[in-house]
Amino acid sequence: MFADGIIGHLRPKELLGKALAHDRIASAYLFCGPEGVGKLLLARAFLKTCCCDHRNGCGECGNCRKLEHGGHPDLVFLDGGEGPIKIEEVRLIQKHLRFHPFEAPRKVCLINNAEAMTTAAQSAFLKTLEEPRDNTLFILVSAQPDALLPTIRSRCQTLNFGPLPRRELVRQLMEQRGLDEPEARILAAVANGSMSKALDLNGEFFRDGRRQCLEEVAALPSPEENVLPHFQLSRRWTDQKENRQARLEALQFFFRDLLLLLSGRPESDLINADLIDLLRSRAQGETVDSVLAKLAALRETEWALEANANFQLTADLLLMQLSETASSR
């Protein structure tokens, strides 16, 4: 199959496979779904198969090799991840498409992060979609398809991509990075279905720093007793800038596990299963309502930091909220 080696997304692969088998390839596709789940990877595999001399994405023919390396004369590739896609770039596409294919059966245009097209660029691109040539193929890849004009979306065959199954991410992380299962489970959970995020995560932090972070927070006294340890810990976190987001994610999953534990869910459902003793100890002083309040505090902290709030002051407040006992609320 053309998409062998690409994990997940059975339905999009099935639809594209049928289009290839019956030579009923649409003029334009929109691949939409979360970041890092394999949309662009599948788009490239599909384009390669469409243009392959042997119609199977062999990887050996001239068309396949040139498409793999981005140097094919019949391919136009734009990536909105590098900045806004402006109308001038769309006009270059239009100029490129005036000519017949040089080597491949069709002209192909791949736009990654298509939502980065400016309004003017989208309006210009729409004109190209409205009158497609028989030998052209467009693929738009987007994690924010609602940012595209409705008229653009309506002229594309939409394929929806979901997060990758966590068990598949765990397996891939164990195979590709040589992780043991507990560590792979943590990274897969934090990645939330995104293989690229899972591979980019700081494995060292989630293996060693995660435990230290959670133990430090669990050891904080109630703020009514003493607030000095809260300020000292937030100061250390402020100085250690590289793992700020990772700490917040680790705390979210810890309190999520606490909620499951308090709700009677089996330990096999827990992400931090290797910290079960710490979870059980903390659960003794918590209720479902108190844990929900702490999860809400973590969400509010993320929003505040996204709005450029002062990190140390925000961390001061968060640590005091996380160390409140259920009886003090």
Tell me if 258 sits within 8 A of 291, measured CB to CB.
yes
Task: Note whether 192 and 209 are same-domain residues.
Answer: no
Task: Note whether 22 and 120 are same-domain residues.
Answer: yes
- The CATH number given to whatever domain includes residue 300 is 1.20.272
Helix axes 244-262, 210-218, angle to 10 degrees: 60
Average pLDDT value over all residues in the chain = 87
pLDDT: which is higher, 225 or 269: 225
Q: Is residue 253 part of a domain?
A: yes
- The CATH number given to whatever domain includes residue 101 is 3.40.50.300
Task: Note whether 109 and 197 are same-domain residues.
Answer: no
For the chain, what percent of residues have pLDDT higher than 70?
A: 97
Task: Note whether 168 and 100 are same-domain residues.
Answer: no
> pLDDT by residue (tens digit) across 141-186?
999 999 999 999 999 999 999 988 888 888 888 888 787 787 788 8
Task: Note whether 315 and 245 are same-domain residues.
Answer: yes
Q: Is residue 210 part of a domain?
A: yes
Q: Which of 143, 174, 201 is the last residue of a domain?
A: 201
CA-wise closest residue to 252 among 192, 326, 204, 182 = 192
pLDDT of residue 271 exceeding 90: no
In terms of residues, how long is the chain?
Answer: 329
pLDDT at 266: 85
Task: Note whether 217 and 175 are same-domain residues.
Answer: no
pLDDT at 327: 57
Task: Note whether 227 and 301 are same-domain residues.
Answer: yes
pLDDT-wise least confident of 52-56, 185-189, 204-208, 255-259: 204-208
Which residues touch 19 (CB under 8 Å, ≥6 apart)?
25, 26
Q: Is residue 234 part of a domain?
A: yes
**Which residues face 140 on adjacent strands?**
30, 111
DSSP 8-class letter at 206: I
Q: Is residue 2 part of a domain?
A: no
pTM of the model: 0.74
Helix and strand element counts for the chain (H, E): 16, 5
Highest mean pLDDT among 45-59, 90-104, 130-144, 219-233: 219-233
Helix (H, G, I), strand (E, B) or coil at 142: strand
Place of tokens 């662009």: 40
> pLDDT by residue (tens digit) across 77-107?
999 988 899 999 999 888 888 878 787 778 8
AA identity, residue 112: N
Place of tokens 């394929």: 159
Q: Is residue 321 part of a domain?
A: yes
Q: Is residue 1 part of a domain?
A: no
For the chain, what percent of residues have pLDDT higher than 90?
A: 44
pLDDT at 211: 86
Q: Is residue 169 part of a domain?
A: yes
Q: How many CB atoms lie within 10 A of CB 257?
A: 26
Task: Note whether 134 and 206 are same-domain residues.
Answer: no
pLDDT at 125: 92
What is the average pLDDT across 49-70? 80
**Beta strands at 28-32 and 157-160: parallel, antiparallel or unpaired:** parallel
111-140 burial: b if 16+ Cβ within 10 Å, else e: bbbbbbbeeebbebbeebbeeeeeebbbbb
Task: Note whether 152 and 280 are same-domain residues.
Answer: no
What is the average pLDDT across 32-50? 90
Q: Containing domain of residue 193, as a range?
A: 164-201
DSSP 8-class letter at 36: T
Q: How many CB atoms lie within 10 A of CB 218?
A: 16
Which residues touch 103 (CB under 8 Å, ≥6 apart)?
62, 63, 66, 72, 73, 74
What is the average pLDDT across 224-229? 92
Q: Using 50, 70 and 90 to split pLDDT, how confident is the model at 1?
A: low
Q: Find how far residue 210's CA is from the centre of its chain.
A: 21
pLDDT at 237: 92
pLDDT at 329: 54
Q: How many domains does the chain have?
A: 3
Task: Note whether 139 and 180 are same-domain residues.
Answer: no
